[in-house]
A and B are shown apart, each in its own frame.
Chain A
């Protein structure tokens, strides 16, 4: 019985992109990289076949959120996404108020695609806008213009999406404070209800890391990133978009419920190559390459590549690490060291009022040092 009431989320990974951005180390592949080994046109059927496995394993559970990410989900077309969603609807029960999101590249959708998505049940869309400054988009290898992102965000509102997110990347080499302020003005102007903003991470092995290694670009500076974070937080808060996780801001009720499910360690199943899952204290992950993934499913095997059963210690570490990133915070009963709380309040890193109410909630300075505080708490 409890299985039925525990919320379940489903993530669907579409591992394709039109081109690879220099900073990206996600599990995604361009047509050239894939060659003949995988057909994009029929890949949604492969994904749907994993949905069938999930149905068999989990039974008839109610699904409260679905999130299509990638890669670029919209690259396989709105209809294909609709078909996968239909298979989820078929195998599980979609909650009446289910949140159904897809990520989209501003270049890979148009008004009619947006309408198709709405019609197949999508309630939320997230565009990778990154910046309004064309020179920043160029450093990031983004092919779209800033105007296109904003236009598509407006079009999504018009098509009936109540929830629209714009993803931003800040502290990119070459970005100025003013570039960022202009970007924020545009985002606020577009009247979205959600913004995710990430400082640029230089991942090992990416073309960006190599360019920095060769000295062609400077390494993003952490102090600059910290100041930019404050600019973002100020501007969005003034516009009525409040932080609810370190890198996420929303209007009231505009929070992404799917992501909150991750941060609360709810149950979620990841469909697709390289996708991770977490159900009842077990984490597992699928084989990464679309070809081996498809082959496994075709032979009737699970595409799982590895798994771990979380110990109580692991669970606590995850709880601390995830809850501290969120506005709702960590129950102060989880923190046994009262001295730590006092010192950290004094250092201006946790909110004194929230602590009095029994929760450790980070201040803005604290959010910028969240990893350090987590390390202190798990020692």
Chain B
């Protein structure tokens, strides 16, 4: 069997034989399997070396079945017309929170393969990415995957897709990435339907960065799509947004392992290495040009990553703090969107205030810290970024409840999102009710088919970062999918609720909530803490307050009995050892004023309020 076909040399490829495309698919709909199958059918991976989901390098991605960082693979393909084509498959992150990265990957392509599970139909995030592709004028090839599944309903979902993208149901390809059925047809469709890239080989070089990955051995590996001109090893390049200048130590293509080349030209996709150690020095969306006689106009669409969700991350064991710091520093090299600064909490000790793109980004960071650095972490309830205008006209940006101003406030603005939910029509009522509770405004509803509905709501971001997704899933028996994108801000009547223990505020539990929900939050937290905090020698009030006004109160009654009834011969050693153990435990007690609280109580109070795992 042929395992390698002649490759058009990078840097000397005629744009007319290049096809650049992305695969748009929901988690589990088979994107990675399809990518694997294409690698195999074009012959660039030896079947014996074929590893499931070849392109998803990180364990965490493999386990969660999602792709966080995209990569680009150059596939040589001989078309039925006998032409040697070069297919550049650009993998896209498959989740909300990474919409910007997806948009950059799509901007590097002329076409997209829309992959939908023939047993499940299109999901909200896929729909959002599809719209993004259509907005970018990409040629879309609709594909139903997993048609070999007994539960597959290809006719139904082909009709659904055709309605969404406005094509004929017969144009929807039916494949099984698992068995390889239909994949040759797909390769032909890619060659036929997706236009070749167009660019000016004689213009100053311009290349779009669509991904940037930190590698322990090589430093940052930057993935680019050349639009105009050519870039080559040894060139001095300039990043147009950041202004940084670097020398290209290596330029190459991934096929499917890195292959260095002299350079890459118009329409080509490849990687470059400059020796920088931080992905911030080579940012997604930025334009690369030559430092001498470079382009004057960037490709457009660059945006600084903007953290929207904030949370305190603390090691459960305080002595892990330095390790947490080192791990964040390391993670940051590969994550341009992650921001953090040291923070001290009365309840939780030393930790970091971290900013994330969204909820999933937050979960991924936390999981990687826990997994790769083996840290046990606790996070405070996430909050969003607020803009607060004081009476005096001063504007404060609040990313932490502790920064919420105490003086008179004239206006508060909160970020809002445009959320799309796709769900079976029987659950529309209950989901509308949920969105209503979360201060949502309905913006539209479309039937994708008789049984499936697309609901569009405008919602405050704060209302979905907490546990919205879990409620959505449980109300729809797991059938709903959610996508959201930021859509500016709105004025809102928000207050900071403090939780006071014996009159002392406990920082980790302060929250910025809508005035109508302040009471519910106060009742919930005070009740929870009453359960978790052991009784003291004196009565301890637990109060929720807005400023100086107490809105709800619980009381931990004073302890009356703390003595073991029996202490005879054999009990003595046992009791002494118990005391020693309690003494150790006491070292981990946090003092809130005169109140002794085991750290576990704080952790439990935060954990139960944590967004449950998806």
> Contact residues of A with B, CB < 8 Å?
11, 198-199, 201, 222-223, 225-226, 229, 246-247, 259, 262-263, 268, 270, 274-278, 283, 285, 308, 314, 317-318, 321-322, 325, 347, 367-372, 374-375, 378-379
- Name the residue in B563, B564, B580, B586 with the highest tally of chain A Cβ atoms < 10 Å from its Cβ: B563
Identify the stretch in B283-291, B357-365, B569-577 within 8 Å (CB) of chain A at 4 or more residues: B569-577
- Choose from B559, B566, B583 the contact partner of A222 (Cβ within 8 Å): B559
- Choose from A277, A285, A369 the contact partner of B563 (Cβ within 8 Å): A369
- Choose from A222, A229, A275, A372 the contact partner of B570 (Cβ within 8 Å): A275
Q: Is the CB of A201 within 8 A of B583?
A: no
Q: Is B80 an interface residue (CB 8 A)?
A: no
Q: Is the CB of B561 within 8 A of A223?
A: yes
Q: Is the CB of B583 within 8 A of A375?
A: yes
Known: A375-B579, A375-B583, A379-B583. Contact between A268 and B560, CB under 8 A? no
Closest CB in chain A relative to B447 CB, distance in Å: 48
Q: Is the CB of B565 within 8 A of A201?
A: yes
Given A246-B563, A308-B573, A372-B562, 8 other A-B residues pairs in contact with their CB atoms under 8 A: A246-B567, A262-B568, A270-B570, A276-B573, A317-B579, A318-B572, A322-B567, A371-B562
In the assembly, what is the distance between CA of A347 and CA of B558, in Å?
12
Task: Give residues of chain B (515-564) contacting chain A, Cβ–Cβ below 8 Å.
Answer: 537, 557, 559-564
In the assembly, what is the distance between CA of A128 and CA of B154, in Å?
78
Known: A347-B537, A370-B563. Contact between A259 and B583, CB under 8 A? no
In the assembly, what is the distance between CA of A274 and CA of B569, in Å?
11
In the assembly, what is the distance between CA of A111 and CA of B382, in Å?
74
Main DSSP-derived SS at the B contact region: loop
The 4 closest A-B pairs by CB, nearest first: A226-B560, A198-B565, A276-B570, A226-B561
> Which residues of A are found within 8 Å of B572, using beta-carbon distances?
262, 276, 278, 283, 318, 322
Closest CB in chain A relative to B192 CB, distance in Å: 68
Q: Is the CB of A321 within 8 A of B561?
A: no
Q: Is the CB of A247 within 8 A of B582?
A: no
In the assembly, what is the distance between CA of A275 and CA of B579, in Å?
22
Q: Is the CB of A378 within 8 A of B570?
A: no
Residue in chain B with minimal CB distance to A318: B576
> Which residues of B are found within 8 Å of A11, using beta-carbon distances?
569
- Choose from B537, B561, B563, B569 the contact partner of A268 (Cβ within 8 Å): B569
In the assembly, what is the distance between CA of A369 and CA of B586, in Å?
17
Residue in chain A with minimal CB distance to B575: A321
Closest CB in chain A relative to B598 CB, distance in Å: 14
Residue in chain B with minimal CB distance to A169: B565
Q: Is the CB of B580 within 8 A of A317?
A: yes
> Which residues of A are found within 8 Å of B586, using beta-carbon distances?
375, 379
Q: Is the CB of B583 within 8 A of A262?
A: no
- Choose from A198, A222, A259, A276 the contact partner of B560 (Cβ within 8 Å): A222
Q: Is the CB of B583 within 8 A of A378?
A: yes
Known: A317-B579, A375-B582. Contact between A259 and B568, CB under 8 A? yes
- Choose from B537, B576, B582 the contact partner of A369 (Cβ within 8 Å): B537
> Which residues of A are found within 8 Å of B576, using beta-carbon distances?
314, 317-318, 321
Q: Is the CB of A246 within 8 A of B569?
A: no
In the assembly, what is the distance between CA of A225 and CA of B560, in Å?
9
Q: Is the CB of A371 within 8 A of B565?
A: no
In the assembly, what is the distance between CA of A170 and CA of B580, in Å?
28
Closest CB in chain B relative to A95 CB, distance in Å: 20
Closest CB in chain A relative to B579 CB, distance in Å: 6
In the assembly, what is the distance between CA of A307 and CA of B568, in Å?
17
> Which residues of A are found within 8 Å of B567, using beta-carbon distances?
246, 262-263, 321-322, 325
Residue in chain B with minimal CB distance to A259: B568
> Which residues of B are found within 8 Å of A368, using beta-carbon distances?
560-563
Closest CB in chain B relative to A342 CB, distance in Å: 15
Q: Is the CB of B562 within 8 A of A285?
A: no
In the assembly, what is the distance between CA of A215 and CA of B583, in Å?
32
Closest CB in chain B relative to A319 CB, distance in Å: 10
In the assembly, what is the distance between CA of A158 and CA of B559, in Å?
44
> Which residues of B are found within 8 Å of A268, using beta-carbon distances?
569
In the assembly, what is the distance between CA of A317 and CA of B580, in Å?
9
In the assembly, what is the distance between CA of A368 and CA of B561, in Å?
5
> Which residues of B are found within 8 Å of A275, using beta-carbon distances?
569-570
In the assembly, what is the distance between CA of A108 and CA of B566, in Å?
24
Closest CB in chain B relative to A157 CB, distance in Å: 25
Residue in chain B with minimal CB distance to A245: B567
Residue in chain B with minimal CB distance to A225: B561
19 A-B Cβ contacts within 8 A? Answer: A199-B565, A201-B566, A222-B560, A222-B561, A229-B561, A246-B563, A270-B569, A275-B569, A278-B572, A283-B573, A285-B570, A321-B579, A368-B560, A369-B537, A369-B561, A371-B562, A372-B563, A379-B583, A379-B586
> Which residues of B are found within 8 Å of A318, using beta-carbon distances?
572, 576
In the assembly, what is the distance between CA of A149 and CA of B50, in Å?
81
> Which residues of A are found within 8 Å of B570, using beta-carbon distances?
270, 274-276, 285
Flag B234-264 by CB within 8 Å of A: 1 or 0 each.
0000000000000000000000000000000
Q: Is the CB of B563 within 8 A of A371?
A: yes
Residue in chain A with minimal CB distance to B565: A198
Known: A276-B572, A278-B572. Contact between A246 and B565, CB under 8 A? yes
In the assembly, what is the distance between CA of A62 and CA of B115, in Å?
92
Flag B153-178 by CB within 8 Å of A: 1 or 0 each.
00000000000000000000000000
> Which residues of A are found within 8 Å of B564, using beta-carbon distances?
201, 371
Closest CB in chain A relative to B409 CB, distance in Å: 43
In the assembly, what is the distance between CA of A259 and CA of B566, in Å?
11
> Which residues of B are found within 8 Å of A369, using beta-carbon distances?
537, 559-563
In the assembly, what is the distance between CA of A199 and CA of B561, in Å?
11
Closest CB in chain A relative to B582 CB, distance in Å: 6
In the assembly, what is the distance between CA of A159 and CA of B353, in Å?
77
Residue in chain B with minimal CB distance to A277: B569
Residue in chain B with minimal CB distance to A268: B569
- Name the residue in B559, B561, B582 with the highest tally of chain A Cβ atoms < 10 Å from its Cβ: B561
Q: Is the CB of B569 within 8 A of A278?
A: yes
In the assembly, what is the distance between CA of A285 and CA of B580, in Å?
20
Residue in chain B with minimal CB distance to A368: B561
Closest CB in chain A relative to B558 CB, distance in Å: 10
Residue in chain A with minimal CB distance to B538: A347
In the assembly, what is the distance between CA of A283 and CA of B575, in Å?
13
In the assembly, what is the distance between CA of A193 and CA of B98, in Å?
80
In the assembly, what is the distance between CA of A259 and CA of B579, in Å?
21
> Which residues of A are found within 8 Å of B563, using beta-carbon distances?
246, 325, 367-372
> Which residues of B are found within 8 Å of A247, using beta-carbon distances?
565-566
- Choose from A201, A222, A378 the contact partner of B579 (Cβ within 8 Å): A378
In the assembly, what is the distance between CA of A229 and CA of B557, in Å?
18
Closest CB in chain B relative to A295 CB, distance in Å: 21
> Which residues of B are found within 8 Å of A317, using beta-carbon distances?
576, 579-580
Closest CB in chain A relative to B561 CB, distance in Å: 4
In the assembly, what is the distance between CA of A318 and CA of B572, in Å?
7
In the assembly, what is the distance between CA of A367 and CA of B582, in Å?
19
> Which residues of B are found within 8 Å of A226, using beta-carbon distances?
560-561
Residue in chain A with minimal CB distance to B567: A325
Residue in chain A with minimal CB distance to B568: A262
Residue in chain B with minimal CB distance to A200: B565
Closest CB in chain A relative to B576 CB, distance in Å: 5
Flag B508-520 by CB within 8 Å of A: 1 or 0 each.
0000000000000
Residue in chain B with minimal CB distance to A230: B560
> Which residues of A are found within 8 Å of B573, using beta-carbon distances?
276, 283, 285, 308
Residue in chain A with minimal CB distance to B563: A370
Residue in chain B with minimal CB distance to A228: B561
In the assembly, what is the distance between CA of A270 and CA of B570, in Å?
9
In the assembly, what is the distance between CA of A274 and CA of B570, in Å?
9
Closest CB in chain A relative to B315 CB, distance in Å: 25
> Which residues of A are found within 8 Å of B579, using beta-carbon distances?
317, 321, 371, 374-375, 378
In the assembly, what is the distance between CA of A283 and CA of B573, in Å?
8
In the assembly, what is the distance between CA of A70 and CA of B563, in Å?
23
Closest CB in chain B relative to A136 CB, distance in Å: 16
> Which residues of B are found within 8 Å of A278, using beta-carbon distances?
569, 572
Residue in chain B with minimal CB distance to A349: B537
> Which residues of B are found within 8 Å of A225, using beta-carbon distances?
561
